[in-house]
Structure 1
């Protein structure tokens, strides 16, 4: 059984739990270690806590990593020697190198980078220093995992000097049970006199999206409602809870379990907000968010922003709606003529798409662990070989 040490930047992030579930489903024995973000409790109570970090406090996080590095050997004393170390994000790559030294210096390291921090993209001294640090810390990595082709095209190839092979691992819905048995999405046009609903689910960190949806829903005077679920990044808002409370056509309905609650929450809305302006023109334009795959798997019509990787992805499949300009008036123009018939037409296109585009199943999990197992006997990195594990597994005739 492959032994994996997974170093997580935020043990409270549901994405860390999903990745751990996937690795275990693929046959790996996972030791999870990382930082707790604020006062929130870790998703996995078995995790080894390395310290506490704060949202939006980059300098504090670097200090916490440096402090943790000095006592990492003691923290990992009871852990079995891993076959592979996975580092989620740049700060954990620093700890991965330290952990490798603790275990003798010959453990393959995988760098999992699913977001490109804006500081890495700066063209001043700060950006150059951080990219230099990434290069230095990543000189011996055996594999780079990322989630969008645009990250490769816009950062890893032109700016990053990392030379490891690249594994493209998209943010599909984790479906470890036989997803063929799962119910297919059903259309849910609103009852007469009831509003259409737009779901904005997941990591709620984008002030521009919040204000745009509020202005739009007010302008539509009840024809549309915005339903918010997930984890608000309170450091990014002046008063998230108070703002939403004062909006007549917007509700926040709390956190949810992923993947357990996805079918229920998406079945309550007709459209999914697959737009993010948090790092507009940079990471937000390049990512393929979890909510894109989740919404399409459960039959919601995605709304994407023109010029983004998300819009290119949905456009290539003939799905969803595209917003031309980031303002409430343009969104109102896009949706003001929405009828039950038009909605059903949009829904049918989403529902007709093979659900395997949206899901990561047990066969994919086994393929991932097999790929990681190969690193134990693999020679040093030979260059930026790109592999799409999900598509490879489908081509091999996976479970679905």
Structure 2
């Protein structure tokens, strides 16, 4: 064993966390994992053995304060193991604050890594609460070895421009697949059948995307199929539309990476980037589905103002549409022909390093070993 690493997770089911854990395990680190639990996208939970910090509700930040006090008592029982660790890897700002308080109180000298997967709405804006959260994050970053981010755009437009953090303090670790955990599938055919199957995967919470897909399914029942897998969060008419439309099929949650080969083999196009009230995060984030779609050779559709749209446009591996113009979106999708589709699909063939993150993880681990970015 090289040493010990301690992970603090907001939820045990996030595939991104599993990639980090696997990468450190594969080079010989012995891990200790703490995680909160919540009724939120359970796919992959069985892959991780962890000590529970208790159950929290999604999005209810104020209600979490008491839960953190209780979690503190859980972590106290592992004080020696944590003090013996070389690295503490923490996901999310609230857990990072928790970890820094703990390490300061008990003089823990482990290197701390703080990872950010999304820029939350509360971090943006001019209200006092927004300024306080940004101040707290700057304090956190001053105490950690570095902050890992899942998109280079986070560094360019948020951490450098807004938080005034030096880029040398950041390490970009995109949402690429981790090769040893991923099954491949043969996707050599460039043919487009008469029925176009669109995949909608992950945490499904974009009402605007949902309205477009419902309109497509309603208007073209013999030409469009919508295949849905994931966790439904806040879609107002989801059950109604699934019951009403025979060409919209929901088959529940899935486990990543175990189920990826199967679900991507069933679609022609993946709907990968949504819109939200958090326009900055939409603009900057690069979702898992970007890399999954490229790996499984599936062309993509993304909102024009999303981070994913930039990559898709560069590769010409899909369609970049304005999701707020439903009529135009439908027209563009229904105008896709076999020749155009084959070109887009051919362009999903990219160098391995663009979609597989093993080397990126190795660089991260080596930088931690030598103690600098």
The alignment's TM-score, normalised by the length of structure 1, stands at 0.84
Q: Does 1:100 align with 2:103?
A: yes
Q: Is the 8 A contact 1:204 1:231 kept in 2?
A: yes
Q: Is the 8 A contact 1:2 1:373 kept in 2?
A: no
CA distance in 2, matches of 1:339, 1:190: 8
User: Shift in Å at residue 288 of structure 1?
Assistant: 0.5
1:367 to 363, 367, 370: 363
Larger RCO: 1 or 2 (CA < 8 Å, sep 6+): 1
Q: Is the 8 A contact 2:20 2:361 kept in 1?
A: no
Q: Which residue of 2 aligns with 1:211?
A: 211
Matches within 5 A, 1:258-269: 258-269=256-267
Q: Residues 165 and 15 from structure 1, CA distance in 2 versus in 1: closer, same or farther, beyond 3 angstroms?
A: same
Over aligned residue pairs, what C-alpha RMSD do you find? 2.5
Matches within 5 A, 1:205-244: 205-233=205-233, 236-238=234-236, 240-244=238-242
User: Shift in Å at residue 115 of structure 1?
Assistant: 0.4
CA distance in 1, matches of 2:152, 2:255: 28
Q: Which residue of 1 aligns with 2:137?
A: 134
CA distance in 2, matches of 1:130, 1:281: 18
Q: Residues 58 and 209 from structure 1, CA distance in 2 versus in 1: closer, same or farther, beyond 3 angstroms?
A: farther
Q: Residues 59 and 293 from structure 1, CA distance in 2 versus in 1: closer, same or farther, beyond 3 angstroms?
A: same
Matches within 5 A, 1:10-29: 10-29=11-30
Q: Which residue of 2 aligns with 1:8?
A: 9
Q: Residues 176 and 187 from structure 1, CA distance in 2 versus in 1: closer, same or farther, beyond 3 angstroms?
A: same
Q: Is the 8 A contact 2:209 2:274 kept in 1?
A: yes
Q: Is the 8 A contact 2:275 2:323 kept in 1?
A: no
Q: Does 1:170 align with 2:167?
A: no
CA offsets 1:156-177 (integer angstroms, 9 cap, x no match): 1122254561100110112126
Q: Residues 19 and 216 from structure 1, CA distance in 2 versus in 1: closer, same or farther, beyond 3 angstroms?
A: same
Q: Which residue of 2 aligns with 1:390?
A: none
1:187 to 189, 203, 218: 189
CA offsets 1:76-126 (integer angstroms, 9 cap, x no match): 566672101111010110122134236533211111011011011021111
CA distance in 2, matches of 1:63, 1:48: 18
Q: Is the 8 A contact 2:195 2:225 kept in 1?
A: yes
Q: Residues 280 and 28 from structure 1, CA distance in 2 versus in 1: closer, same or farther, beyond 3 angstroms?
A: same
Q: Secondary structure at the match of 2:19?
A: helix
Matches within 5 A, 1:142-157: 142-157=145-160
